[in-house]
Amino acid sequence: MKDTLNVVELFAGVGGFRLGLENADANLFNTIWANQWEPSRKSQDAFDCYKRNFGGEPSNQDIALVPDKVFQELDIDLLVGGFPCQDYSVARSLSGEKGLEGKKGVLFWEIKRVIENSHPKYVLLENVDRLLKSPSKQRGRDFAVMLATFRDLGYIVEWRVVNAAEYGAAQKRRRIFIFAYKNTLNFATKQRKFSPYEIVFNEGFFANTFPVKQEPYKNRIATCELPDDIIAISDEFAFGFHTAGIMLEGEIFTAHTEVDFPKFRPLKHILIDESMVPESFYLTDLQAEKFKYLRGPKKIERTSAEGHKYIFSEGGMSQTDELDGPGRTMLTSEGSINRSTHIVEVNGKKRFLTPIECERLNGFPDNWTAGMPNRMRYFCMGNALVVNLITKMGKTILDIEVNEHNKSEQIEMFI
């Protein structure tokens, strides 16, 4: 029995997955390899931040150029990563001998390649929640392709869209988390004893990590079976996935879950002492006027590329962000003159959030991203995940792993 779980982190960013897992138990989660590479950028700020905070020698190259042999030689227990929502359409290879070809540059196929060459027990991934509905002309296809890929690799998959503010965070950040585990594990045997409904609402990975009400929202439940041929899924499949679900051997059960006791952290709790805020973060009169317009209601006549006129309308929003509630979703444009940028009013003065406050919104330690320009600090936090959620999931993974070891030891004693 190993004393630790070996972790590989793909598309690592500034290390939210690793930090969250180490917060769960730094002695039991051992990151043995990590990759972060930002294409078309001379400055690799996120990589530099990762290396500064964790040390070691993380990989800073295009993941597609990392040889299969690297992953074959790694003893991976848990593969983690946040990856872009892209077009996952597939086709037969020209030779017909290599099986399927995914669209070039789609990073999910690199995840598939790592799994094929290392066979980790667990996979934990994060993405934007629109993944469930993409592409718009064939809703659900991309997610179905992913599920079928995991099915063909021998994994059971659970998913859940989680709003961080409903589980103690200071930010309304909705992301889909995907947890896959090998169908040969003791945990898989245990889960097969439950119905899909029981797994989603009571007994599953996410139900144990993020408890929900025992009935679906507005009775939204759906089931289907994935076609055996992944090409048929890519070409023809469409399905309405809900916010939670499980895929077991191609059988899909999905439901719209609802939080039982939502609990957020107020935005005011992450603000630094006002005496520590540099003057440059306070709005000038000109900036205040721009934000007043951007946040206000508007109806503007525009002309389309085809030449016809239409009215663009936009509802108004509060001129400042409510301090007693959770913050809105932070985007990569945070800190710029943009409608989505947070503006707080303290002691009668309006200002931007500081980079440290943005780090706190995601649960990172103060000055985690120090050393890079403020513009990039905002950008990295807009891309990051909420660390506290990963810590909660890490603890559930450890609970599963303890039972795996206990069952294995019982079998060895019996033999």
Rounded to whole angstroms, how far apart are CA atoms 393 and 29? Answer: 12
Length of the chain as a residue count = 415
* pLDDT at residue number 97: 43
86 and 186, same domain (yes or no): yes
Residues 121 and 206 in one domain: yes
- Residue 195 pLDDT: 98
How far is residue 89 from each of residues 86, 142, 154, 285, measured CA to CA in Å? Answer: 9, 7, 21, 49
pLDDT at residue number 105:
63
Q: 207 and 74 share a domain?
A: yes
Q: Are 293 and 196 in contact (CB under 8 A)?
A: no
What tens-digit pLDDT sequence spans the chain (415 residues)?
A: 478 999 999 999 999 999 999 999 999 999 999 999 998 788 999 999 999 999 999 999 999 999 999 999 999 999 999 987 777 777 665 554 445 566 766 889 999 999 999 999 999 999 999 999 999 899 999 999 999 999 999 999 999 999 999 999 999 999 999 999 999 999 999 999 999 999 999 999 999 999 999 999 999 999 999 999 999 999 999 999 999 999 999 999 999 999 999 999 999 999 999 999 999 999 999 999 999 999 999 888 888 888 888 888 889 999 999 999 999 999 999 999 999 999 999 999 999 999 999 999 999 999 999 999 999 999 999 999 999 999 999 999 999 999 886 655 444 443 4
The predicted pLDDT at position 122 comes to: 98
For 70, list phi and psi in degrees, rounded to 5: -60, -45
Report helix, strand or coil for 109.
Answer: helix
Identify whether residues 300 and 205 lie together within a single domain: no
Q: Are residues 216 and 302 in the same domain?
A: no
296 and 239 both lie in a single domain: no
Residues 379 and 390 in one domain: no
Catalogue the E-assigned strands of 154-297: 155-163, 174-182, 221-225, 244-248, 251-255
Report how far residue 409's alpha carbon sits from residue 404's, in angstroms, rounded to the nearest whole number: 9
Separation CA 9–CA 150 (nearest Å)? 18
Same domain, 204 and 295: no
pLDDT of residue 83: 86
Q: What is the DSSP letter of 263?
A: B
Same structural domain for residues 390 and 378? Answer: no
Give the pLDDT of residue 379: 96
Q: Give catalytic residues, as residue numbers.
A: 85
29: domain CATH number?
3.40.50.150
Same domain, 376 and 399: no
How do 251-255 and 298-303 pair as beta strands? unpaired
Task: Please give the residue range of the domain that contains residue 305.
Answer: 272-322+330-383
- Which domain CATH number covers 375? 3.90.120.10
Residues 282 and 226 in one domain: no
Residues 297, 392 within the same domain: no
**Rounded (5°) CA angle 12-15-18:** 100
Whole-prediction pTM value? 0.93
> Domain tally for the chain?
2
At residue 124, the 3 state secondary structure works out as strand
